[in-house]
């Protein structure tokens, strides 16, 4: 179903109802509501950190920043890449999510090396739920390191839901599971009414703290 008019406020209500917008492709200006029968969720207490990525994190190859270049992250996510022949992020998507960022409901986690943005992800925050939208990487493990930092930040801030929309081979390596629409809505309803703080974790340079957070179970 195409959308002729949408505002950031309507978009937030859509997320609270379990639906999200996508475009057919970057050139198509139309947007469509997506409400999957099966939903991808990455359980924060069951996050799996591969051993090789753990070594990369300890080596501190990348500098991690939060919300410093949101527009650049979503722009990079909208580009085709060697393993991504097309993208669903069109100009309307970019405009809407930049507005959500200005309102404080959208965030980016970014990986930098030698002053250059080389990877990252962005998503929507609502209560204790974080809805991951897209990620990109131009260097090995750059987007994966951003994901690890996101999980640590969400756990520290009291979040209970990391929505990945779908389950991919890439995300399944970190523990992403598939839920039915009904089961997802139960978790979503609880999460959006939680009081969580995305900015409570303040030191993304502390790899030991990151590792401790992602390894914690409730």
pLDDT (0 to 100) of residue 165: 94
Q: Which CATH number fits domain 37-215: 3.40.50.10190, 3.30.1330.200, 3.40.718.10, 3.40.630.70?
A: 3.40.630.70
Q: How far is CA 20 from CA 76, 97, 153, 157, in A?
A: 20, 12, 23, 24
Q: Quote the CA–CA distance of 69 and 136 in Å, as a whole number.
A: 13
The answer to whether 216 and 190 are in contact (CB under 8 A) is: no
Give tens-digit pLDDT for 89-144: 999 999 999 999 999 999 999 999 999 999 999 999 999 999 999 999 999 999 99
pLDDT at 218 > cutoff 80? no
Give tens-digit pLDDT for 158-175: 999 999 999 988 899 999
Q: Is 147 exposed, middle or buried (0-12, 13-18, 19+ CB in 10 A)?
A: buried
* pLDDT interval class at 80 (50, 70, 90): low
pLDDT (0 to 100) of residue 3: 47
pLDDT (0 to 100) of residue 19: 95
Q: What integer best gives the mean pLDDT of the chain?
A: 92
Q: Quote the CA–CA distance of 108 and 122 in Å, as a whole number.
A: 4
Parse the chain into domains and list their residue ranges.
37-215
């Amino acid at each position: 179903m195409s959308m002729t008019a949408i505002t950031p406020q309507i978009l937030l209500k859509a997320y609270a109802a379990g639906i999200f917008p996508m475009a057919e492709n970057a050139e198509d200006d139309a947007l469509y509501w997506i409400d999957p029968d099966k939903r991808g969720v990455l359980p924060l207490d069951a996050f799996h950190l591969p051993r090789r990525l753990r070594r990369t994190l300890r080596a501190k190859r990348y500098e991690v920043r939060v919300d410093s270049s949101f527009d650049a992250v979503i722009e990079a996510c909208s580009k085709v890449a060697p393993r991504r022949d097309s993208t669903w992020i069109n100009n309307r998507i970019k405009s809407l999510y930049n507005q959500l960022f200005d309102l404080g409901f959208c965030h980016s986690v970014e990986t930098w090396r030698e002053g250059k943005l080389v990877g990252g992800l962005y998503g929507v925050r609502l209560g204790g739920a974080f809805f991951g939208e897209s990620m990109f990487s131009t260097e090995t493990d750059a987007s994966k390191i951003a994901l690890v930092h996101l999980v640590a930040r969400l756990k520290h801030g009291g979040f209970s839901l990391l929505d990945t929309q779908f389950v991919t081979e890439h995300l399944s390596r970190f523990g992403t599971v598939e839920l039915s629409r009904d089961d997802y809505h139960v978790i979503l309803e609880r999460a959006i009414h939680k009081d969580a703080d995305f900015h409570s974790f303040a030191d993304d340079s502390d790899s030991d703290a990151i590792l401790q957070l992602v390894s914690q179970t409730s």
